Amino acid sequence: MQTPVEGFSRFTKEEKIDWVAKNYTGNSQETKDLLATYWNDDSKVQQFHDEFIENTLSNYYLPFAIAPNFLINKKLYAIPMVIEESSVVAAASKAAKFWLSRGGFKTTILGTEKVGQVHFMYYGESSKLNSFFEAIKPQFFKDAKSITQSMEKRGGGIKNITLHNLSDKLKGYYQLHCTFETLDAMGANFINSCLEQFAKTLQEQASNANLFSNEEELEVIMSILSNYVPNCVVRAEVNCPITNKATNASVSREFAEKLKQAVAIAKVEPYRAVTHNKGIMNGIDSVILATGNDFRAVEAGVHAYASKDGNYSSLTHAEITNDVFKFWIDVPLALGTVGGLTSLHPMVKTALEILQKPTAKELMQIVAVAGLAQNFAALRSLVTTGIQKGHMKMHLMNILNQLGADKNEKTQLIGYFKDKMVSNASVKEALEGIRS
């Protein structure tokens, strides 16, 4: 029976591993050997990994891949992707190649505004609070000057602070709704530092003003940035002519109509929309991970954006106008190319170098394209051959590894399934046939 442990964070790495292996695994030596296998031989690199989070035992590796041939705004990119799911990189590469001869991808930054809020309670007259806020508003900017001056020199900083009355949703609930421009930094630390200063200023000014009775007392609850950034949005799109039969510069009318209808279904059917958008995030998350950004924050913001009109819906759109097929995505992305892991993790540095050292705006555009490409590849398969044919082909190697196939067996079975449908059962049967 396991028992609580005291002072675990103060254990050395070896002591932590010994404790976990002894108390939570069936084979302590095997566990220790496995964890040690994934340590980095370069002690400096390993130290970076160990210090990213707490109580580290080892490293958890994911494949680092490249999807080439992405023509974005007439500039050619090879996009780094970190993901474990079979067929994602292949699908993105295939989509990139498809659109390479059809004009490539075009992108537009629609906004870069980020948001933070000071949440507080107030039970007095809203008109009195409004007047108080307008009187002290300049003080927020003044008190935060030591935090914002460096960002302001680069062209960023606080954009605006407004008072929101949400007491109709929760009695006494108000907030300072604050917007920021953080340039090439994702800006979480900068925004949170500003917000905490705003909260301090608000509380101090309220105490000094002697405007509020005990019943009206203003109480700050918390100050935190928001990962919902509906005004930090990028558009990525593709378009080409429609002809009766597809060419290197066009798509067929039948294909365009079916793909448009597939998107229309995802717009009105949440069960489909969730899977539709998950495929988009396969592309987005893999580039976010490769470039050291926060994929959890992006995921949360993107899915909230997909629900902004009251129903969860497709992030992508398709239309046919005057025999031109257009397919596009508008997606909120708060990203950074400086600070955080971007200056620490060696693979992140390499990923950004491969992307030709993009600004945050350029990275937004690249990530949006990866999401659009992934969605196009998935829809193309769904409305033509079906998703399983290509996906299971890419999954074949995973199945063979799970079944313990050796190198010779893998070679034989890759050839065997070249023109056959792949499934767990069919691979198992074919492998058993070779072995017998």
Q: pTM for the whole thing?
A: 0.89
Choose the catalytic residue: 237, 294, 362, 395. Answer: 294
Assess if residue 1 is contained within a domain: no
Question: Average pLDDT, stretch 213-224?
Answer: 84
Q: Residue 262 belongs to what domain range?
A: 65-103+234-384
Distance in angstroms (rounded) separating the CA atoms of residues 289 and 82: 6
Distances from the Cα of 207 to the Cαs of 52, 151, 167, 196, in angstroms? 40, 30, 22, 17
Q: Is the pLDDT of residue 423 over 90?
A: no
Choose the catalytic residue: 16, 276, 391, 393. Answer: 391
What is the pLDDT at residue 393?
59
Better-predicted residue by pLDDT, 303 or 400: 303
Radius of gyration of the chain, Cα coordinates, nearest whole angstrom: 26
Q: How confident is the model at residue 214 (pLDDT cuts 50, 70, 90)?
A: low
Residue 210's domain is classified under what CATH number?
3.30.70.420
Choose the catalytic residue: 13, 18, 49, 85. Answer: 85
Q: How confident is the model at residue 387 (pLDDT cuts 50, 70, 90)?
A: low
Q: How confident is the model at residue 432 (pLDDT cuts 50, 70, 90)?
A: confident
Q: Which two tokens stand for residue 209?
A: 């003003």
Q: How confident is the model at residue 401 (pLDDT cuts 50, 70, 90)?
A: confident
Distance in angstroms (rounded) separating the CA atoms of residues 316 and 326: 11
Cα-Cα-Cα-Cα torsion 413, 416, 417, 423, nearest 10 degrees, comes to -60
Q: How are beta strands 324-332 and 233-243 bridged, if at all? A: antiparallel
In tens, the pLDDT along 319-337 reads 999 999 999 999 999 999 9
| Sign of the alpha-carbon torsion through 185, 187, 189, 190 | positive
Q: Which two tokens stand for residue 10?
A: 């103060």
Q: Do 345 and 240 fall into the same domain?
A: yes
What is the pLDDT at residue 192?
97
- Cα within 13 Å of Cα(389), Cβ side: 12
Q: Do 239 and 357 fall into the same domain?
A: yes
Assess if residue 3 is contained within a domain: no
Q: Do 263 and 380 fall into the same domain?
A: yes
Q: Is the pLDDT of residue 391 over 60?
A: no
Q: Is 15 considered catalytic here? A: no
Q: Is the CB of residue 383 less than 8 Å from the CB of residue 260?
A: no
Assess if residue 183 is contained within a domain: yes
Q: Do 206 and 141 fall into the same domain?
A: yes
Q: Do 151 and 208 fall into the same domain?
A: yes
Assess if residue 59 is contained within a domain: no
Q: Do 368 and 397 fall into the same domain?
A: no
Q: Do 98 and 242 fall into the same domain?
A: yes
Distance in angstroms (rounded) separating the CA atoms of residues 338 and 184: 6
Please count the structural domains in the chain: 4
Q: Is 112 exposed, middle or buried (0-12, 13-18, 19+ CB in 10 A)?
A: buried
Mean pLDDT value across the chain: 93
Q: Is 216 considered catalytic here? A: no
What is the pLDDT at residue 211?
66
Q: Do 90 and 211 fall into the same domain?
A: no
Assess if residue 156 is contained within a domain: yes
Q: Is the CB of residue 255 less than 8 Å from the CB of residue 240?
A: no
Q: Among 112-126, 150-164, 197-211, where is mean pLDDT lowest? A: 197-211
For 399, the 3-state DSSP assignment is helix
Q: Is 391 considered catalytic here? A: yes
Q: Is the pLDDT of residue 370 over 90?
A: yes
Assess if residue 331 is contained within a domain: yes
Q: Is 119 considered catalytic here? A: no
Better-predicted residue by pLDDT, 275 or 415: 275
DSSP conformational letter for 198:
H
Q: Do 43 and 152 fall into the same domain?
A: no
Alpha helices (H) along 219-359: 253-268, 270-290, 295-305, 346-354
Q: Do 82 and 173 fall into the same domain?
A: no
Q: How confident is the model at residue 43 (pLDDT cuts 50, 70, 90)?
A: confident
Question: Average pLDDT, stretch 7-17?
Answer: 94
Question: Average pLDDT, stretch 380-393?
Answer: 73
Assess if residue 58 is contained within a domain: no
Choose the catalytic residue: 258, 278, 349, 361. Answer: 278
Q: How confident is the model at residue 409 (pLDDT cuts 50, 70, 90)?
A: confident
Q: Do 367 and 397 fall into the same domain?
A: no
- The beta strands (E) that lie in 354-395 are given as none
Largest separation between any pair of C-alpha atoms in the chain: 89
Nearest to 376 by CA among 256, 287, 207, 215: 256
Assess if residue 2 is contained within a domain: no
